[in-house]
Amino acid sequence: MTTSSLALPTRFLLTTAGAFAIGLGMLSGVAAAQTGSGSPEAQTTPSRSVTVPNAGAATTTRSAAPANPAEADICDPLCDGAPVSEATEDRLADGTGIYGRSIELHISDRDAMGWASINNGDPTDEVWLDRSFDGGATVADSRLGYATIPAGKRGTTTTMFGVNDKAGGRVGVIRACGKAGNRPDIVCSGWTKVEKPATQGTPTKRAVAALVKLYNANTGLWKTTGWWNSANALTAVIDYQLATGDRSYEWIIANTYEKNLHAQGGNFTNDYIDDTGWWALAWIRAYDLTGDPRYLETAKFDADYMWSSRDDVCGGGVVWNINRRYKNAVTNELFIKAAASLHNRIPGDTKYLDQALNIWQWFDASGMINSENLINDGLNSATCQNNGDVTWTYNQGIVLGALTELATATNDRSYLDRAKVLADASTRSAYLNPGGVLTEPCEQNGCGGDGPTFKGVYVRNLGELNAALKDRPYQSYLRKQASASYSKGRNRFDQYGLHWAGPIASISAATQQSAAEAQIAPLWGVNDDEA
């Protein structure tokens, strides 16, 4: 196998310092810029920094101070200040972000205890809890568990504090607050109470509902994850609606579009060509659901932007970043799928089909598909040879959806045959499926901000291929992923962590999106009662 050592993707490089068995959401948010060394291909995935709007219930410009003790400790039975390790469960109750930091509110509802974490940060960054007993109208206890990120770390947590004052007969709410150590601005999550889990609806419906709970209607993006990950979260929500006919979340599409059309480089572009590809595919999905032509027009703009990055280095292909001309798998696979999808939705088109075929023919001959029919990260720019980097699951998946679209575009079944060869390799790979459950190569040591999205991309695209084949050869595989993640990787609130085979850990909007896609993928093309 021509894979590298298991270095995590460095586009959003985080550490897992301070994480423990039930997870502290250490793998979420948008990272601060990382300083890389050497050429891009010397890294697993080149480092990056993308600015995402701050999200929170309230932002002020006051300086934080050391903790003010509560009037009296709450004990029921755990007491204020108990270590997080004593929590019996972990619900990601809310989240927000500021200057690339991810600030999360966690609640152990069985214990009626909560804590805050700050991740993706720098030493001296601050985090704490506020507590209220009148629904958030006033703050009864401020800066509970005040903590700062220690030297050499990227995150920290507070200790735990009770949400309700049972002895005093008061029902409480808590919020997580934090700030960058070198800036005065403070941001807080929403006020949140102890909750009971929903039990109605199918596993798919509940997984998507839990994903939607992490959506920030004010920014049009998802809390606890990044810019391009939000494109995938939106795609998952649309996939659910397309697969089931439940149109409950159609409002999210327009809200996301209108709140972010002029963000980044405008029209959902930025310097990262792969980011643009994710949004192009999301807007194509949005067009499929709504028929609104503005979404298709934006997808066309995005595909044109991606195509404009094409050059003749290593014989062709689009680049990963307009300022770093690295040729990698994900960006080119995304372009093939986006261009072929556009052709299939634009009567009389020839431009996008020609472009899709151009990039596919180059990609297929580039050497990125290795001798095991698995796809490595990209090409060594000095040699134009396969760089041997990790075979991330999403690189095995996007190509399946791309070839499915090409088969439709050309009415040529050979593209499906090629996709089946690749899908057989990835579904049968013990490296990617230890014990038969899809596992990202980075899971043992932490997957940063990017990796939690990858498996969802894989099963989404495998599901598309499976639905296009009469014998649905991957149905049992897809059902196994849905079943395993539901039984071993999910908490009582239908929140899913990074590990589909368990344990439950590192819950974020990205892990939720991936697992929601695992529930959705077996539904493509089935009867409504199965959905």
Strand 141-148 and strand 221-222: the pairing is: unpaired
Cα→Cα distances 504→140, 500, 519, Å: 33, 8, 17
Supply the DSSP string of 227-288, one letter for each residue: HHHHHHHHHHHHHHHHHH---TTHHHHHHHHHHHTTSTTSTT--SBHHHHHHHHHHHHHHHH
In three-state secondary structure terms, 96 is: strand
Sign of CA dihedral 342, 343, 349, 354: positive
pTM above 0.85, yes or no: yes
Q: Round to whole Å and give the CA distance between 390 and 43.
A: 10
pLDDT in tens, 248-289: 999 999 999 999 999 999 999 999 999 999 999 999 999 999
Tokens 């152990």, residue located? 108
Q: Round to whole Å and give the CA distance between 134 and 143.
A: 17
What is the model's pLDDT at position 525?
75
pLDDT in tens, 448-459: 899 999 999 999
Angle at 275 between CA 269 and CA 281, to 5 degrees: 90
Q: Are 197 and 212 in contact (CB under 8 A)?
A: no
Beta bridge partners of 144: 129
Question: Minimal CA–CA distance to 440: which of 385, 348, 506?
Answer: 506
**CB-neighbour burial class of residue 236 (10 A; exposed 0-12, middle 13-18, buried 19+):** buried
CA 198 to chain CA centroid, Å, is: 23
Strand 186-188 and strand 101-108: the pairing is: unpaired
With a cut of 50, list the residues of the chain below it in pLDDT: 1-67, 528-531
Q: Are 239 and 520 in contact (CB under 8 A)?
A: yes
